[in-house]
Amino acid sequence: MKHRSLALLGALLLSSALTACSPSGDGSGGGSRDGSGDAAGGRTVLDVWLMRDSVSAAFQQEFEAGFEEDHPEIDVKIQIQEWEGIGEKVTAALASNDAPDVIEVGNTQVAQYAQSGGLTDFTGRVGELGGDSWLTGLAEPGAYEGRQYGIPYYAANRVVIYRTDLFRQAGIDADTIRTREQWIAATEKLDQGGTQGIYLPGQSWYTLSGFIWDEGGDLAVESGGEWKGGLDSPAALRAMEFYRRLQALGKGPKDSDEAQPPQAEAMAKGQIAQIIATPGGASVVAEKNPDLKGKLDFFPIPGKSAATPGAVFTGGSDLVVPAVAAHQQEAFTFLKELTGDAWQKKLALAMSYVPNRTTLAGAVASDPGAAAMAVGAANGHATPNTPQWAAVEAKNPIKDYMTAVLTGRDPRTEAAKASRVIADTLNSDS
């Protein structure tokens, strides 16, 4: 099996408070400007920042060679950046006169950079980029105030990682688990003797978010320029009740998240039938416990009905072009190539990613983990699209709310408290 490690989802969990940048320009890109990007022989040097684990060295080499063969007038220079400290680095670049031409950013970070005018607006060119089939969980957070600044690059999301041997012993065929109630029934059957039906930490708020979206709710909603927290809506309360039922079918801690302790390590140590994680978690389990190699598989998080997979938080990246970038048209050409069908298929297979559009889901059919992700990605969502959301995650009242409910406090009272914190934070000018 070929899976990326959890590190490939730096964008999925990254939520540092960043100085922001916002709408500008129409992105029509009338050609490159003169400047330091002009190489000898008339070729234009295109500076690109991609993030660590976004591409392998082999894929990078293949793409650069293929792109330059098709566009010999452009010399692509890709620099790999680290996730740690990238917010400050991007913010400084957008405010300078020497920004790179293309930058990879986490999909939920686009609004923060777009807020003060630092990004090129591609709204008028979405059609040229195949935007009619983009994954919603990448396209929506790539937009800000109705304008498209982020171009979907790749996606990843959570799936169910399960022990095939424990499922077989319990007489359960994972392919038949298509709905939430079927999932609960199977997990109850697995939760017998010394086996935990599922290991689900009490503060896995991205998982809860999917259940809330399934019920028709949201973490927060905006109306008339004001935000209101959504945890106390009937839909969100139903989602929390389902989470409580599922979490009770194992011994996951009620007061910590997936990282404390790392749930893949917990699965490696014990008789745990399932966890909810990105597919790279299976590699961690097998590495920690080689006896489980070949005994792990995946299925999409089930939905309320068999017709629709469970909603998931879509992590991943978008590509943006700084408004001050010297080579706007060449940058657009780069975006069109790397996010187009041919290179998206190659990237998905090379990196076990979900391609950026629904029409390419079949490209990862040979990779079980990525194929399960692709099914879920069709019902992908993102956190509320506002620059202030990073401040909500810094406080994270959602985690405290979940622990309160799982330890016996009144769900409505605790949901109302958490919703007020969310609203106050989102409506704050700071």
* pLDDT recorded at residue 31: 38
pLDDT per residue as tens digits for the range 210-231: 999 999 999 999 999 999 999 9
Domains of the chain, start order: 6-156+314-381 (3.40.190.10), 159-312+396-426 (3.40.190.10)
* pLDDT recorded at residue 334: 98
Residue 305: its H or E element: none
* pLDDT recorded at residue 262: 93
* pLDDT recorded at residue 116: 79
* pLDDT recorded at residue 38: 57
Cα distances from 181 to residues 178, 184, 248, 303, 382, in angstroms, run: 9, 5, 15, 9, 25
* pLDDT recorded at residue 130: 95
First-to-last CA distance in the chain? 46
Low-confidence ranges of the chain (pLDDT < 50): 1-36, 40
* pLDDT recorded at residue 196: 98
* pLDDT recorded at residue 13: 40
* pLDDT recorded at residue 41: 67
| Closest to 108 (Cα-Cα) out of 423, 380, 425 | 380
* pLDDT recorded at residue 9: 46
* pLDDT recorded at residue 14: 40
**3-class SS of residue 380:** strand
- 6 burial level (CB within 10 Å; 0-12, 13-18, 19+): buried
φ and ψ of 381, to 5 deg:
-135, 170
Residue 292: its H or E element: none
| Closest to 183 (Cα-Cα) out of 263, 256, 294, 276 | 276
Q: How many CA atoms lie within 13 A of 236 on its CB side?
A: 23
For residue 208, give both structure tokens: 């809860």
